[in-house]
Amino acid sequence: MSRIGVFICHCGENISRTVDVERVAAHAAALPGVAYATEYKYMCSDPGQTLLKKAIREQRLTHVVVAACSPRMHERTFRKAVEAAGLNPYLCEMANIREHCSWVHEDREQATVKACDIVGMMVERTKKNRVLPTITVPVTKRSLVIGGGIAGIQAALDIADSGHEVVLVEREPSIGGHMAQLSETFPTLDCSQCIMTPKMVDVANHPKITLYTYSEIELVEGYIGNFQVTVRKRARSVDERTCTGCGVCMTKCPQKKIPNKFDQYIGMRTAIYVPFPQAVPNTPVIDRENCTRFKTGKCGVCQKVCGPGAVDFEQQDTLIVEAVGAIVVATGFDLYSISEKPKGSPIKGYGEFGHGKIPDVIDGMTFERLASASGPTGGKIVRPSDGREPKQIVFIQCIGSRAREKGISYCSKVCCMYTAKHTMLYHHKVHDGQAYVFFMDARTPGKSYDEFWRRSIEEEEAVYIRGMVSRLYQKGDKIVVMGSDIAVGVQVEIEADMVVLATAVQPQQGADLLAQKLGISYDKYNFYSEAHAKLRPVECATAGIFLAGACQGPKDIPETVSQASAAAAKVMTLFSKERLEREPIVARVREVGCVGCFACKKVCAYGAVEEKEIRDRQGNLLRVVASVNPGVCAGCGTCQATCPSKCVELDGYTDEQIVAMIEAL
Amino acid sequence: MINTIDISHYGTVAESIRIEAARILGEGLVTAVVAYTAGRRAGSVQPAIITSAAEAERLTFTAASVNNLAVYLTKAKKDIPRSGRIGIVVKGCDLKALVGLMGESQLQREQLYLIGIPCAGVLASTVRPAEPLTAGNLAPKCRECDAQLPEGCDYVPEIDLPLPTPLESTYAAEIARLEGLTPAERWAYWKEQFAKCIKCYACRQVCPFCFCEQCLCDRNKPQMVDTTPRPAGNTAWHIVRAMHLAGRCAGCAECERVCPMDIPLNLLNRKMAKELKELFDYEAGFAVNEKGPLTMFMEKDDQSFIK
């Protein structure tokens, strides 16, 4: 026979204002199986918890029901208290009479009756609670970081500095990401390369970091603490161990006119190349699509001139399996290509702005490369069409961003600031030039951000025009920009030499495919979703996977670095234990009744359901049944709802308990 | 109304089944063949499982070969699949059930040797088995058949199937009639139908998709469904049955055929199929799907129910 204790909380006045707590306590005390019922002003406070612990011991209670707030708020608090008093924590349940009752009702009489019902249901359910042992799983203290931009680099360095091994995987031939492409950075205008490249070198030299560049994630298996990740290391055609990075191969390569992606295709590179001189690793890669040797079988100059004999045309992709305990996803962003409507995408292009048709209409990243000292023009801002210096330059903000009718409703967050920076860089380099900016609002929340933006107007003479551009067209060698100035209410027409579009920040191409491999969720734009927008901003809902940087949503560099360090701290917390404890609210399969249809496996969002073979003593296969891996199960209960013969039970939410609750009503 | 349906080829089909069954059993390709043999009444048939080539001469196929033999490969006779590869005679509608069972990990294609029937239709269950097949006494499911020639079988007798005369679907007409009623009228209709149920569970036993080791309606801890044939339990059972078959049932109509109380069970199944077709553009039984429409989420899924 159970001896249940019911503890009713006033929650200050939050509950007692609408619910007659004394009447609820009297009702509870009369329920069969209830040995003790009381109420108190703040049950979660120290005296409240002491009262509960004392009652458990003195009244020899077997189960506890705390009628108070939502279990999301204080279930853990009371389970700890119950455990401290010597009971299994999972014999304690919360009856939510605040969010589900007092907060949503006005009539005291009806609210009290409802509170009695809620308590009655929870008493019946708690009677059927089982003692649940805490689940522990081992943890592999190695981490995988996906993406070698500033987010991935920061996370990898922080984790590695704490003494744990890191595997860093980057899709491009070099780490560095978008930050390596930038010229100078807001709000201090320090050179991006100067602050970025030392970190890249740190990664390459760190004894705890294994770096795979030109590599992609092929397959992710396992669960928190125990992931097995298969990395596809694409054939570089150059042996990384023997290559000294002397660069002779690149100077001798006859294919010299290949547009370089790193330079936004305005600079040229060779077929065997490093994307930029400061690349890490400084090992070239052969672009097999453009290499004469791979196209016709005829060249091979690079191999002939290579002193250490590192060039290997026969190299194949290799698959490497890495065991890791945590994963940081830092795949970053891409700029929205506005020249055409991306195939199969709901996002519409901006044909009216001539990007891709008029050569001197460029995007913000291209401007960065023009302004960068290491860029294709050596830092001279010139027109891609004829190499002349633009004397009138127009910047247009919110291209793609905040345009619901074009398919993207969010703000890309960094464009206001980088456009202000562009006007400054331009003014510093073209003293007699004039910059105009078309903008909707200037969004400058951030330390020293608004001051920076004001400076572009007040000291660097940028002319800001509030309004959007309706049309652009080429007229002779000028670009006519037609727009409206809504502050004055007039139509504006500017004959510009160059137009820079602040295009929207989007997740990387294929972000959705990677999310599917990882089993993490993503929003309609393919940005990865955090577990809680406010309280768990760096964790994924999938345990053991963390987010850093713009793959989660548009972010600037300081925010990205903060989040990367936060993700690293989460990984270190995970690695601070030998075994991971997990709440034992997990699904269990009643194997005797399981018919092996695997509907549960099909609906499981966490990959927690496995196929288990049942054999007789001779080893003959009798049946194949479903089996839940408690280390992976998140306790969502979808399998329980799906099982046609009700052979999956979620501990703490068994069918018996649910039916008992219904029958108590 | 009395336009006779041409089933003159059934004799040849039966002969072909006998030859093929004898061959595959004789060559050791399969350990057993599930097929039809003659029943006691003139023209009637009954399911049979034969394990030797000599028995093949007993096999037949007539317009009374209405049973869906797929059920013998599931829970009812679950020892059969374990004994090796099995031959089975399938009409198009029966094949759909097998396809569904493969999708639900109950069968594997390699375990089966499928003898497909070029089918012109079978008799309704209320008709004497010796009667000639006409548009009037055709089984209702055959009126809307879209799988006269089962696809992907290991063997199908080579016969030029006579072109079917298009017939109006009686199920579609009845669904349209019920949809035209008010919810109260519709509820009254089904209440009357379910009240007839005697909880014999014949519909469950004959259904290839009711393959659970233990039906949730037989559970008593907790008891989900009242076991006695009273209105609440009857309604619960029929709702569970219809819901569990949504997206799976391909309309062999065996439940309706075996119901001793003549409850129009396949009408519920067809209505669920219609909903699935409209909501998810999904029809059961045509491809071995890893996931059905009710076990997966797609962004284009109708979400109008979220208010």
pLDDT at position B83, please?
Answer: 73
Same domain, A54 and A199: no
pLDDT at position A137, please?
Answer: 85
Give the chain B residue nearest A644 (alpha carbons): B244
Q: Is A499 on the interface with B (CB under 8 A)?
A: no
| Structural domain harbouring A299 | 235-316
Determine, yes or no, domain membership for A582: no
Name the minimum distance, in Å, from the CA of B107 to any CA of chain A. 10
Q: Where is average pLDDT lowest: A105-109, A112-116, B7-11?
A: B7-11
Beta strands in A368-475 (DSSP E): 392-399, 434-439, 463-466, 469-475
Same domain, B81 and B135: yes
Contacts of B214 in chain A (CB under 8 A): 593, 645, 647
Q: How far apart are CA A658 and CA B242, in angstroms?
A: 23
Residue where a domain terminates, one of A577, A604, A632? A577
Q: How far apart are CA A513 and CA A316, in angstroms?
A: 24
Q: Which of A351-360, B18-27, B138-147 has the highest mean pLDDT?
A: B18-27
- pLDDT above 80 (res A267): yes
Burial A513-532, CB ≥16 within 10 A → b, else e: ebbebbbbebeebbbbbbbe
Give the chain B residue nearest A656 (alpha carbons): B222
- pLDDT above 70 (res B185): yes
- The overall average pLDDT reported for chain A is 93
pLDDT at position B164, please?
Answer: 73
- Element (DSSP H or E) covering residue A564: helix A557-575
Same domain, A54 and A100: yes
- Confidence at A591, pLDDT banded by 50, 70, 90: very high
Q: How far apart are CA B274 and CA A595, in angstroms?
A: 28
Determine, yes or no, domain membership for B219: yes
Asked whether the beta carbons of residue A598 and residue B75 sit closer than 8 angstroms, the reply is: no
Q: Which of A593, A602, A624 sits opposite B213 (nearest CB)?
A: A593
pLDDT at position B76, please?
Answer: 57
Q: Which percentage of chain A shows pLDDT scores above 90?
A: 84
Name the minimum distance, in Å, from the CA of B36 to any CA of chain A. 28
Q: Which of A589, A590, A595 to mutate to test the interface with B (most CBs of B within 10 A)?
A: A595
Determine, yes or no, domain membership for B149: no
Asked whether the beta carbons of residue A597 and residue B106 sit closer than 8 angstroms, the reply is: yes
Q: Is B74 on the interface with A (CB under 8 A)?
A: no
Q: Which of A524, A602, A646 sits opposite B216 (nearest CB)?
A: A646
pLDDT at position B162, please?
Answer: 74
Asked whether the beta carbons of residue B216 and residue A644 sit closer than 8 angstroms, the reply is: yes
pLDDT at position A134, please?
Answer: 87
Determine, yes or no, domain membership for B163: no
Same domain, B213 and B261: yes
Cis upstream peptide for B222 (omega within 30°): yes
Name the minimum distance, in Å, from the CA of A113 to any CA of chain B. 27
Exposed, middle or buried, B111 (CB in 10 Å: 0-12/13-18/19+)?
middle
Q: For the domain that residue A104 is a member of, what is the CATH number?
A: 3.40.50
A58-102 pLDDT tens trace: 999 999 999 999 998 899 899 999 999 999 999 999 999 999 999
Determine, yes or no, domain membership for A351: yes
Cis upstream peptide for A187 (omega within 30°): yes
Determine, yes or no, domain membership for A465: yes
Same domain, A344 and A328: no
Q: Which of A642, A645, A660 sits opposite B216 (nearest CB)?
A: A645
Query: Closest Cα partner for A469 from A483, A485, A489, A486?
Result: A483
- pLDDT above 90 (res A355): no
Q: Which of residues 115-154 of B touch A (CB under 8 A)?
A: none
User: Angle between the A108-127 and A21-29 helix axes, to the nearest 10 degrees?
Assistant: 30
- pLDDT above 60 (res A341): no
Same domain, B208 and B123: no
Q: How far apart are CA A272 and CA B98, in angstroms?
A: 56
Q: How far apart are CA A218 and CA A317, in angstroms?
A: 12
Give strand pairing partners of A68. Answer: A96
Determine, yes or no, domain membership for B129: yes
Q: Which of A598, A602, A645 sits opposite B212 (nearest CB)?
A: A645
pLDDT at position B219, please?
Answer: 85
Q: Which of A91-105, A391-405, A594-608 has the highest mean pLDDT?
A: A91-105
Q: Which of B213, B239, B289 to mutate to test the interface with A (most CBs of A within 10 A)?
A: B213
Q: For the domain that residue A655 is a member of, what is the CATH number?
A: 3.30.70.20
Determine, yes or no, domain membership for B304: no
- pLDDT above 60 (res B143): yes
pLDDT at position B160, please?
Answer: 81
User: Cα dihedral sign for A515, A520, A521, A523?
Assistant: negative
pLDDT at position B244, please?
Answer: 93
Same domain, B132 and B178: no
Which of helix, strand or coil describes residue B267?
A: helix
B255-294 pLDDT tens trace: 999 999 999 999 999 999 999 999 888 888 888 877 888 8
| Structural domain harbouring B26 | 10-143
- pLDDT above 90 (res B161): no
pLDDT at position A358, please?
Answer: 86
Same domain, A88 and A174: no
Contacts of B301 in chain A (CB under 8 A): none
**DSSP code per residue over A191-210:** EHHHHHHHHHHHHHH-TTEE
Determine, yes or no, domain membership for A23: yes
Determine, yes or no, domain membership for B101: yes
Asked whether the beta carbons of residue A602 and residue B75 sit closer than 8 angstroms, the reply is: no
Same domain, B105 and B182: no
- Element (DSSP H or E) covering residue B194: helix B183-195
Contacts of B212 in chain A (CB under 8 A): 593, 595, 644-645
Same domain, B21 and B120: yes
A284-322 pLDDT tens trace: 999 999 999 999 988 999 999 999 999 999 999 999 999
Asked whether the beta carbons of residue B105 and residue A593 sit closer than 8 angstroms, the reply is: no
Same domain, A394 and A541: no
Determine, yes or no, domain membership for A530: yes
B193-240 pLDDT tens trace: 999 999 999 999 999 999 988 888 888 888 888 888 999 899 999 999
Q: Is A191 on the interface with B (CB under 8 A)?
A: no
Instruction: Please compute the mean of the pLDDT values over residues A535-545 and round it to a whole number.
Output: 91
What is the number of domains present in chain A? 5
Same domain, A481 and A372: yes
- pLDDT above 90 (res B184): yes
Determine, yes or no, domain membership for A622: yes
Same domain, B32 and B134: yes
Measured CA angle at B233 (ends B231, B238), to 5 deg: 95
pLDDT at position B81, please?
Answer: 64
Same domain, B120 and B187: no
Q: For the domain that residue A522 is a member of, what is the CATH number?
A: 3.50.50.60
What is the number of domains present in chain B? 2
Q: Which of residues 217-246 of B touch A (CB under 8 A)?
A: 219, 221-224, 244
Same domain, B31 and B134: yes
Q: How far apart are CA A575 and CA A145, in angstroms?
A: 15
ipTM: 0.88
Exposed, middle or buried, B23 (CB in 10 Å: 0-12/13-18/19+)?
middle
- Element (DSSP H or E) covering residue A421: helix A415-429
Name the minimum distance, in Å, from the CA of B212 to any CA of chain A. 6
- pLDDT above 60 (res A191): yes
Same domain, A244 and A355: no
Same domain, A265 and A411: no
pLDDT at position B53, please?
Answer: 95
Where do runs of H (alpha helix) occur along A162-298?
192-205, 248-252, 292-296
Asked whether the beta carbons of residue B213 and residue A592 sit closer than 8 angstroms, the reply is: yes
* Number of Cβ pairs < 8 A linking chain A and chain B: 50
Name the minimum distance, in Å, from the CA of A646 to any CA of chain B. 6
Same domain, B125 and B188: no
Determine, yes or no, domain membership for A132: no
Determine, yes or no, domain membership for A190: yes
- Confidence at A205, pLDDT banded by 50, 70, 90: very high
- pLDDT above 70 (res A342): no
Determine, yes or no, domain membership for B250: yes
Dihedral class, residue A300 (left if φ above 0, else alpha if ψ from -120 to 50, else beta):
left
Same domain, A347 and A485: yes
Residue where a domain terminates, one of A472, A506, A540? A506
Name the minimum distance, in Å, from the CA of B200 to any CA of chain A. 19
Determine, yes or no, domain membership for B154: no
Same domain, A75 and A52: yes
- pLDDT above 70 (res A347): no
Instruction: Please compute the mean of the pLDDT values over residues A39-64 and round it to a whole number.
Output: 96
pTM over 0.80: no
Same domain, A167 and A148: yes
Q: Is B166 on the interface with A (CB under 8 A)?
A: no
Same domain, B281 and B200: yes
Same domain, B185 and B291: yes
Same domain, A259 and A380: no
Asked whether the beta carbons of residue A645 and residue B290 sit closer than 8 angstroms, the reply is: no
- Confidence at A349, pLDDT banded by 50, 70, 90: low
Asked whether the beta carbons of residue A594 and residue B75 sit closer than 8 angstroms, the reply is: no
Give the 3-state DSSP-derived string for A8-33, with helices as H, strands as E and coil as C. EECCCCCCCCCCCHHHHHHHHHCCCC
